[in-house]
Structure 1
Amino acid sequence: MAKSSRIEKEKRIIEMMIRLYCHRHHDRNGTLCDDCKELLDYAQTRLSRCPFGDRKSSCRHCRIHCYSPAMRHKIRVVMRYSGPRMLFFTPIEFLKHL
């Protein structure tokens, strides 16, 4: 089994965070609302195009901010809510993320 790249791991984690946020705030039937789907697509596109690749630091500490200000605000809201709750819903992923 091939080892996942850092970018692929971050894509998985951001998807879990957005799904958790959307499930608790917007939609309870297991699908993402349009706003959260747009945010997920945007985040995954930005991660795919990261110029640092697997050597990247966390986006918060990056010297290149590739998110637009509006999307950066949205992702911060999602992370602020979902980050602490990941411990209860996906404890293994939470510990790996730390």
Structure 2
Amino acid sequence: MKLFVNLMRRLVMWPFRRRDFSAIANIGHQEFASVLAWLEQTGWKIYARYGGFDAGIDYDCIRLKRAGIKLKCEWDPYDEWRIEGPAEVVEAIASQFDSVATSE
């Protein structure tokens, strides 16, 4: 069973590492609101937003785009907000807000 779990974990992480993505995890609501406002001020545009009946209750997702680069911002009640995208961009956001970007 442990072999299967490890295999699945590697399989899920492969595209993330292959595309050189990073993520900032566990961002609270207030901090995410500040990050989102800053991203919009610096030219990022929201091109998709989750609109299900449970938006903001069980799940939420905002997708941003600027100059062909895309960011995915997801929320769930257990892990708070998470921003993922190209490592260079996410690390710049993390440094702007004194956060830590990881490659997982």
Normalization by structure 2: what TM-score? 0.29
Please state which structure has a larger fraction of its residues in strand: 2
Please state which structure has a larger fraction of its residues in helix: 1
Normalization by structure 1: what TM-score? 0.30
